[in-house]
Amino acid sequence: MQWLILEAIKLSHGSFGRQGQKLFNPVCMDLSDKNKLRRFVPLVAAILVAALAIVAFYEKGGLFSASRPQEISFFDEPVPSFVKRGKLTVLTRNAPTTYYEGRFGPQGFEYEMARAFAQYLGVPIEIRILDSVPAILMAMRQGQGDIAAAGIVRTAQREGIYSFGPGYLSVQQQVVARRNHQFPRTVEDLVGMNIMVLGDSVHHERLMAISDEFPELSWETAYDMSVEQLMEKVWRREIHATVADSNIVAINRRYYPELLVAFPLSASKQLAWVVRQGDDELMSALHAWFAGFEAKGELASLKEKYYGHAQVFDYVDIATFHRRIRNRLPLYRQHFETAARNHDLDWKLLAAMAYQESHWDTSAESPTGVRGVMMLTEDTATHLGIVDRLDPEQSIEGGARYFVELLERIPSTVERPQERIRFALAAYNVGMGHVWDARRLARELGRNPDSWDCIREVLPLLSQPDYYKDLPHGYARGTEPVLYVQRVMDYRDILEKRLALAASN
């Protein structure tokens, strides 16, 4: 090591010539004086060790690049905690507006934002799922995460306790009720109604504030449910109304179209991430990243993806379906018949799937990026060798092949062909992983995992924390695949009867 240091000193001395000698004079640099050299060696060694350590960290972490030299400087600030750990730990909850396992992998508005932030930092992301916003906030106070990305409303009360990042979505609290049921128009109408809201929530706080003016107003609080479950209870007419944030209402009305917004219960407020207390480096990096994320239009694009198409879902508009059998189906019937013949399928089933997916609209595109008449993802299309998802012939052929792949993965213990079709349809909608979870849960509950009648009762349980928390694929919109299978089978039956009637005429 001393030889290395000496050589480095000699090299630098020779390189700088007389100017170099002047530069070294302040530290008594004289190579002919061994005693002075010995005094100088520790200083040089310390400098070289520090430099080597910085270079080694630089190359290992990959955090900095020539294009982003200004992000974090280790020369001025201590190493950020998340860099020391080598990851960004994100606390969130399993829900359609935050994080969930979709048909083709992790999805969710909050998840995609957090993933983009982690990529900006140059560290991997670690997702930790908790049951509720109160549980997430408590975990943040205990230092269990770097950020909480869980649709958390920034309020004055919370700002006194937690560190919030920039606001990214404006929401308001809304009273949600079911059409053709007891329906409130004003706060006064809520008096005497069966209302349930989440405990320890901003919704409960808001009702408490309103009760000063309406002392007869009463409600129940739920501590072991999600707001999505409360909305489902309204849809099932088990309660009259609940309160939810507008972004959650917008997403869930696609699944429960009979739910309506009765009226807003508060002014608009911002959703924001909670950042670990005292982590100034992370907060600074978050603000820098968010400014660019918003300026480049990526935030607006993400909002459009998840909320731009949040409309009331049309269950089975029979009149529209009959009309489209006349004016759209003839354009693509030959493609359905050819693909079905190639894969030994019922072409009317393929046509019913396509109608459920896209209403036979070849240019259809969902907020999550699936496209075409059979609504294939880009990854699935690539896997199937489909070049153009918007080409109806390619899309229908790809959809048929993908459906056959799903059919072949259904266990042989599911023997009846119609049962196998229903299982495969559910997988086409929600993903095979969640179908496996439903079968596993059915066994644990003493139900028959090979019976669709049992599975359709078990699938909705995948949206309840007590059931999905121990399953490999976690949360799923379990009611949706049940409705999907029923609608596809209904469309097929209607189409079959319509064609039979046309043939008889």
CA dist., res. 243 & res. 440, Å (int): 34
CATH number at residue 244: 3.40.190.10
Concatenating the DSSP letter of every residue in 452-463 gives HHHHHHHGGGGG
Residue 226 in tokens? 């999600």
Helix (H, G, I), strand (E, B) or coil at 170: strand
Q: What mean pLDDT is predicted for residues 380-401?
A: 93
Is 400 inside a domain boundary?
A: yes
CATH number at residue 378: 1.10.530.10
* Residues 262, 176 contacting (CB under 8 angstroms): yes
Is 69 inside a domain boundary?
A: no
Query: Are 366 and 461 members of one domain?
Result: yes
210-232 residue pLDDT tens: 999 999 999 999 988 889 889 98
Q: How confident is the model at residue 111 (pLDDT cuts 50, 70, 90)?
A: very high
CA neighbor of 204 nearest in space, from 225, 235, 234, 232: 225
- 90 or 40, higher pLDDT: 90
Q: How confident is the model at residue 237 (pLDDT cuts 50, 70, 90)?
A: very high
Residue 70 has pLDDT above 50, yes or no: no
* Residues 113, 156 contacting (CB under 8 angstroms): no
Total domains present in the chain: 4
Residue 3 Cα distances to 6, 261, 387, 497, angstroms:
5, 78, 63, 93
Query: Are 347 and 485 members of one domain?
Result: yes
Q: How confident is the model at residue 42 (pLDDT cuts 50, 70, 90)?
A: low
CA dist., res. 485 & res. 456, Å (int): 9
Residue 4 is predicted with a pLDDT of 41
Helix (H, G, I), strand (E, B) or coil at 241: strand
Catalytically active residues are 357
Helix (H, G, I), strand (E, B) or coil at 28: coil
Domain boundary residue among 307, 332, 366? 307
Residue 128 in tokens? 């930790």
Q: What's the whole-number average pLDDT of the chain?
A: 82
Edge to edge, the sheet with strand 259-264 lists 241-245, 173-178, 259-264
Is 76 inside a domain boundary?
A: no
Residue 190 structural domain:
173-266
Q: What is the dihedral of CA 53, 54, 59, 63, to 10 degrees?
A: 140
CA dist., res. 206 & res. 201, Å (int): 9
Query: Are 254 and 325 members of one domain?
Result: no
Residue 32 is predicted with a pLDDT of 42
Is 228 inside a domain boundary?
A: yes
77-88 residue pLDDT tens: 455 666 667 899
Query: Are 143 and 287 members of one domain?
Result: yes
Percentage, residues of the chain above pLDDT 70? 79
CA neighbor of 249 nearest in space, from 67, 20, 95: 95
Residue positions counted in the chain: 505
Q: Find the range with the poorest average confidence among 10-24, 416-430, 448-462.
A: 10-24
Query: Are 240 and 379 members of one domain?
Result: no
Is 290 inside a domain boundary?
A: yes
Is 73 inside a domain boundary?
A: no
Beta strands at 196-198 and 220-222: parallel, antiparallel or unpaired: parallel
Is 128 inside a domain boundary?
A: yes
Helix (H, G, I), strand (E, B) or coil at 277: coil
Strand partners, 371: 365, 376
Query: Are 289 and 412 members of one domain?
Result: no
Instruction: Please enumerate, as own/partner, the contacts of 413-418 that have beta carbons within 8 Å and a separation of 24 or more.
Output: 413/449, 413/450, 414/450, 415/450
Residue 19 has pLDDT above 60, yes or no: no
Is 71 inside a domain boundary?
A: no
Query: Are 356 and 333 members of one domain?
Result: yes
Query: Are 370 and 492 members of one domain?
Result: yes
Query: Are 299 and 193 members of one domain?
Result: no
Query: Are 103 and 200 members of one domain?
Result: no
Query: Are 205 and 255 members of one domain?
Result: yes
- 44 or 318, higher pLDDT: 318
Domain boundary residue among 10, 31, 61? 61
Query: Are 351 and 447 members of one domain?
Result: yes
- 181 or 264, higher pLDDT: 264
Q: Quick check: pTM over 0.85? A: no
